[in-house]
């Protein structure tokens, strides 16, 4: 006589639990027949205050203890890599743990696209912080709907360029795109009203380079004898010569500055001031924000030094910080999604757990993913102040486990 597979009951329990939760919140769930299961179990269409929206996702549901890992859960990608990453409807993975009776989620499409098509991602990582229940449903739906909306109109272009370069652009940002004769990609990125733009070049591994129209043209101008262009004021800015830009590329970037300036001319002055100042939490509106910049690698080196100092003084800090992170119920959904991706790689997790001055001397000794995961574990927030301050005042760290105060 035919036998029912052992995993069928727990697998169906997982689908039933997710479906019941979604329908309890008035979202529309359509189950995909097992005969047509090619990596997805459900279609979910979200509603908004009783109104049906056009925002739909597909969900792969797994149930059972076999999906559990040391840092959460993992769903194998298998042969679904292309369809999950390149489809026109994003795919989410949800795991049901029968022991805790909790549901945990991850955006599979987002993880695959972040990882890139040049390598093969074997598992979709799901953080134990990514609980899906009555209390987190609203934030989950808001995040999922925002992700779906990224693939409409102009936002679809920004999303594609952002996934290509590893940057997330705001809808109001000026973002322009150029491909040179060698098929190298260049992205021009500038906030409305700002004088400084960021260039992102595929030939430079997408490392951000700050430029102004003046710094860009330094290579085109004659310089005093014996003086290099890097001796001009503001060494944080790059020139066309530094970046190896051709004459055609220089003219394109110059045209970007001109066109974005023209677009900004009609903006209200108060709006421009708000845009310039809103990223500084210390801004009170009483005086202009300082417009100096600090190199990203300087911040990273300083933050790493601070992390190593604390770990050296308190060897158990990392594990206590991880436990504190797991207990947080109000983590931003974006961070929850990022944790799932980072914690999937055992090499990254191992490097973070072994973090010390003996294993790491500087930022270059760490994989970027390991540095990012260590920051998420140890640090709640980082504030960057004005450039006139000393580095220990300019970069303010709010630790997940506060430093002990001396009486």
Task: Report residue 34's pLDDT band, with 50, 70 and 90 as the boundaries.
Answer: low
Q: What is the pLDDT of residue 219?
A: 54
Nearest to 63 by CA among 19, 10, 101, 112: 10
Residue count of the chain, please give it: 407
3-state helix, strand, coil in the chain (%, to 5): 45, 20, 35
Is there a contact between 322 and 95 (Cβ–Cβ < 8 Å)? no
CA–CA distance from 32 to each of 77, 261, 354 (Å)? 19, 51, 44
Which of the residue ranges 78-82, 232-236, 341-345 would you say has the lowest mean pLDDT? 232-236
Q: What is the largest CA-CA distance in the chain?
A: 93
Q: What is the pLDDT of residue 389?
A: 64
Percent of the chain scoring above 70 in pLDDT: 80
76 or 154, which is more confident: 76
Q: Assign a CATH topology to domain 6-149.
A: Trna Endonuclease; Chain: A, domain 1 (3.40.1350)
Could you please report the per-residue DSSP string of 155-172?
Answer: HHHHHHHHHHHT----TT
Residue 50: other Cβ atoms inside 10 A? 6
Is there a contact between 141 and 47 (Cβ–Cβ < 8 Å)? no
Tokens at 36, concatenated: 């047509």
Mean pLDDT calculated for residue range 219-241? 57
Reduced 3-state DSSP string for 70-120: CCEEEEECHHHHHHHHHCCCCEEEEEEECCCCEEEEEEHHHHHHHHCCCCC
Mean pLDDT calculated for residue range 255-279? 60
Query: Where along the chain do its domains lie?
Result: 6-149, 153-277, 296-399
pLDDT single digits (tens) 345-362: 888 899 999 999 999 988
Contacts of 96 (CB under 8 A, 6+ apart): 10, 13, 14, 17, 18, 61, 62, 63, 64, 102, 103
What is the rounded distance in angstroms from the CA atom of residue 174 to the CA atom of residue 263? 9
Q: What is the pLDDT of residue 249?
A: 92
Mean pLDDT calculated for residue range 153-163? 79
Task: Report residue 23's pLDDT band, with 50, 70 and 90 as the boundaries.
Answer: very high
Could you please report the per-residue DSSP string of 362-395?
Answer: SGGGS-HHHHHHHHHHHEEEEEE--TTS-HHHHE
How does 157-193 read in b/e, with b if 16+ C-beta sit within 10 Å? ebbebbebbebebeeebbbbbbebeeeebbbbbbbbb
Q: Is the pLDDT of residue 200 over 80?
A: yes
Which of the residue ranges 35-49, 194-208, 302-316 would you say has the lowest mean pLDDT? 35-49
Q: Is the pLDDT of residue 364 over 70?
A: yes
Contacts of 47 (CB under 8 A, 6+ apart): 26, 27, 28, 53
Q: What is the pLDDT of residue 186?
A: 95
């Amino acid at each position: 006589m035919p036998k029912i597979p052992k995993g069928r009951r727990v697998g169906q329990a997982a689908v039933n639990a997710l479906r019941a939760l979604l329908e309890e919140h008035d979202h529309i769930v359509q189950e995909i027949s097992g005969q047509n299961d090619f990596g997805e179990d459900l279609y979910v269409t979200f509603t908004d205050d009783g109104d049906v929206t056009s925002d739909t996702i597909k969900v792969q549901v797994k149930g059972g203890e076999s999906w559990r890992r040391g840092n959460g859960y993992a769903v194998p990608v298998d042969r679904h890599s292309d369809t999950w990453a390149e489809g026109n409807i994003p795919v989410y993975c949800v795991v049901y743990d029968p022991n805790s009776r909790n549901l945990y989620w991850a955006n599979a499409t987002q993880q695959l696209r972040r990882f890139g098509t040049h390598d093969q991602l074997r598992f979709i990582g799901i953080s134990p912080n990514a609980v899906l229940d009555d209390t987190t449903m609203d934030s989950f739906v808001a995040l999922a709907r925002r992700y779906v909306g990224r693939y409409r109109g102009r936002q679809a272009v920004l999303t594609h360029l952002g996934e290509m370069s590893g940057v997330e652009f705001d809808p109001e940002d000026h973002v322009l795109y150029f491909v040179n004769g060698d098929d190298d990609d260049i992205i021009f990125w500038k906030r409305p009203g700002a004088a400084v733009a960021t260039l992102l070049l595929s030939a430079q591994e997408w490392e951000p380079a700050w430029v102004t129209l003046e710094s860009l043209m330094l290579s085109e101008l004659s310089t005093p004898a014996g003086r290099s262009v890097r001796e001009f004021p503001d060494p944080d800015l790059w020139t066309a010569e530094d970046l190896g830009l051709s004459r055609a590329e220089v003219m394109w970037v110059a045209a970007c500055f001109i066109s974005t300036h023209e677009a900004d001319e009609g903006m209200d002055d108060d709006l421009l001031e708000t845009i310039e100042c809103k990223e500084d939490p210390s801004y009170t509106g009483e005086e202009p924000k300082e417009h100096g910049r600090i190199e990203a690698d300087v911040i990273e080196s300083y933050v790493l030094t601070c992390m190593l100092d604390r770990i050296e003084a308190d060897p158990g800090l990392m594990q206590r910080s991880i436990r504190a992170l797991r207990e947080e119920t109000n983590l931003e959904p974006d961070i929850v999604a990022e944790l799932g991706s980072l914690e999937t790689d055992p090499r990254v997790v191992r490097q973070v757990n072994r973090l010390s001055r003996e294993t790491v001397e500087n930022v270059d000794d760490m994989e970027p993913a390991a540095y990012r995961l260590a920051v998420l574990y140890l640090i709640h927030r980082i504030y960057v102040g004005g450039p006139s301050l000393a580095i220990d005042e300019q970069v303010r760290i709010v630790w997940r486990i506060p430093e002990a105060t001396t009486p």
